[in-house]
Copies of this chain bind each other. A is one copy, B any other.
Amino acid sequence: MRLPTIYDVARRAAVAPSTVSRAFGRPERVGRATRERVLVAADELGYVPNPHARALQTGRHKTVAMVISDIANPRFFELVRGAEQRAKAAENTLVIVNAEESPTIERDQVHVLTRSVDGFILAASRLPDHDLRNLASKHHVVLVDRELDPLPSVAMDTGLGCRQILEHLVSLGHEGFTYCAGPPQSWMGAARWAWLSRGAEEHGLVARRIGPYTPAVANGANAADSALRDRPTALLAHNDMLAIGIMRRLSARGLRVPEDVTVIGFDDIFAAELVTPQLTTLQGPDARAGRLSIELLLELLQSSPTSQPREGEDPAHQLRLPTHLVVRESSGPAHQASDEWSH
């Protein structure tokens, strides 16, 4: 049961194959009656255009890839959802691939998909700058949660976000904090610490950093234990998973959050409001970021449809989304240094 082709449809509608092709691709270039006839015939046969045969000719696949540094990380949930949605609206297929936190896999995946997709969204890419530049010179690329100068990107406004956290801390009377860092390859992680430490100075806060930690709940224990040695009043974690792990350990050690220690995370994953106490956290990339990244990519493809990306990129293509600090229960007034610390 071979699937029908334009030839089958053409025969049935008594027209030339090229007319069938036009009826689908450039309906305005076909007589009304003819088009009608073709469409009916196609429908009767159950004809579905073969996008790849088309791509062979046009170079456009109507498919884009989103490569994610870690598909198991809940922070990408909404991002994927938004992207998927937007891609579908534009009748594009979204291929989602997992880089498993490995630069090598990330590169490989892009390589494998070169001929299959029109462009790439790289989310929280672990690739070094020069690799990214290199990729971008060969393919259409949009970065998510990473910025690299001429490349188009959509990222949370980390500067703003960190300021929001700092101000929150100051307003609660904290005089310093300890930042539990994530993986060294994380551009976002580096950016966060940069803004945090710089901003701390301006706000007269003492900033400490410990880590790196692989940001998983299980590693929170280690982070909490290390952090406690400096008796901080506030702990910031690379992300919510780590923050949740930290809260657990604190509570296991008899410390109350936020009375004894304030804990703040990054990303606002689904679970952040499910834990007890509910986690105060800086909202991360969401469905909107996902939609925008696809839009950016689609726009790029539009302006230079062939496989050759344009040279200089428009600064308007470097989106920085405003962040929100979702204040929940895990942050509170700085505790009075006292004896709950005799652990």
Binding site for B on A (CB under 8 A): 1-3, 48-53, 55-56, 61, 63, 71-72, 74, 77-78, 80-81, 84-85, 88, 91, 93-98, 111-116, 138, 217, 244, 270-271, 274-276, 307-308
Closest 5 CB pairs of A and B: A52-B52, A276-B276, A50-B115, A271-B271, A48-B114
Cβ contacts under 8 Å, A98 to chain B: 81, 84-85, 88
Complex copy number for this chain: 2
Least CB distance, A250 to chain B, in whole angstroms: 14
* B contact residues around A308 at 8 Å (CB): 1
Complex Cα spacing A81 to B217, Å: 18
Q: Is the CB of A116 within 8 A of B97?
A: no
Complex Cα distance A88/B3, Å? 27
Cα distance A207–B138 in the bound complex, in angstroms: 62
Tell me whether chain A's interface is mostly helix, strand or loop, or mixed. Answer: mixed
Q: Which residue of the partner chain, among B56, B93, B95, B274, contacts A52 with CB atoms under 8 Å?
A: B56
A140 to B190, CA, bound (A): 46
Residue of B nearest to A251 (CB): B276
Which has the most chain B C-beta neighbours within 10 Å: A49, A71, A94, A116?
A: A116
Q: Does A112 contact B97, Cβ atoms closer than 8 Å?
A: no
CA distance A113 to B88 in the complex (A): 12
- Which residues of B are found within 8 Å of A61, using beta-carbon distances? 52
Assess the B93–A116 pair: CB atoms within 8 A.
yes
How far, in whole Å, are A244 and B49 apart by their CA atoms in the complex? 45
